[in-house]
Amino acid sequence: MTTPPPLHHSKIDPKNVNRALKSLLKWRDSKSNTEPLDDNNSDGGFVYLVVTLKKPPQIDRTNPLTIPLPHPLIDLTESPPPEICLIIDDRHKNKITKETALKKIEADNVPITDVIKVSKLKTELKKLEAEEEGKQRRRRHHEVYFAERRLMPILPKLLGKEFVKKTIAINLRSGNWKEQVERVCESALFFVGTGTCSVVKVARLSMGRKEIGENVVAVMEGVVGSIPGKWKNVKLFHLKLLESLALPVYESV
């Protein structure tokens, strides 16, 4: 599901966003003097928007809302390409085989680098992790996982809730695989929980401050545009880094 276009009557003050970003980046720079930071490959390399609502929205929670970004979190044009994994369901007779999936990925130029069968999920993931840590083949952790939609209910039992938080359902039976993958890579993912607080990845620290600010504003507008009640249901927006304090950028009056 894609959010509506930005609102015409926005309550966002770019000055508040820039002020918070300046403080966060200054904090990060001071910390980098004492310990090395990896802006590309770790969860610490992102800027996060903390969304606090007045009431939990009553909307579909099977998949995150996609909020288009002016500057994508996952750059599909970079070299080497980002690592993206597809988990397929091989438990049924009416299944898409790994061979079929790989052929379609190559034929349609779908930006997926690995395909794993759910029956061998734990084994294959351990193998990939070993390759990532090996000296002969340097590769980054997967940027995102896609899984056949019907697998989503069983993944938490197989790999835990934390893994499922970075796994996106994909419709392999119909629809354009390439389009679905690219839309996720070019968007911020707003996972709507049962409570009032959510955290959204909005930008990479490797981006410039102007780019980060533009992403922050786009996500704030996208969140407001996607929830019932719009601005009336927003209590607070904060910005933070992984280990930093959360700095306010919007508070309802």
Beta-strand ranges (E) seen in 2-161 are: 46-53, 65-68, 84-88, 114-117, 144-148
In order of start, what are the domains of the chain with their CATH numbers?
A: 41-70+187-251 (3.30.190.20), 84-185 (3.40.50.790)
Q: Please, which residues bridge with residue 2 across strands?
A: 66
Output the pLDDT for position 244.
94
H helices then E strands: how many in the chain? 7, 10
d(C-alpha 139, C-alpha 82), whole Å: 9
Whole-model pTM: value is 0.84
Q: List Cβ neighbours of 226 (8 Å cut-off, separation of 6 or more).
A: 1, 3, 4, 59, 65, 67, 190
Q: Which residue has the tokens 């939609």?
A: 149
d(C-alpha 139, C-alpha 119), whole Å: 24
Q: How far is CA 176 from CA 142, 173, 223, 243, in A?
A: 21, 9, 25, 38
Output the pLDDT for position 12.
94
Q: pLDDT of the chain along its 253 residues, tens only?
A: 555 444 446 799 999 999 999 999 999 999 877 765 555 445 668 999 999 999 988 876 667 899 999 999 999 988 888 999 999 999 887 788 999 999 999 999 999 999 999 988 878 777 766 665 554 444 456 788 999 988 988 888 888 877 777 789 999 987 799 999 999 999 999 988 778 999 999 999 999 999 999 999 999 999 999 999 999 999 999 999 999 999 999 999 8
- How many CB atoms neighbour CB 14 within 10 A? 13
3-state secondary structure 113-137: CEEEEHHHHHHHHHHHHHHHHCCCC
Output the pLDDT for position 130.
67
Residue in 83, 77, 78, 70 with CA at minimum distance from that of residue 208: 70
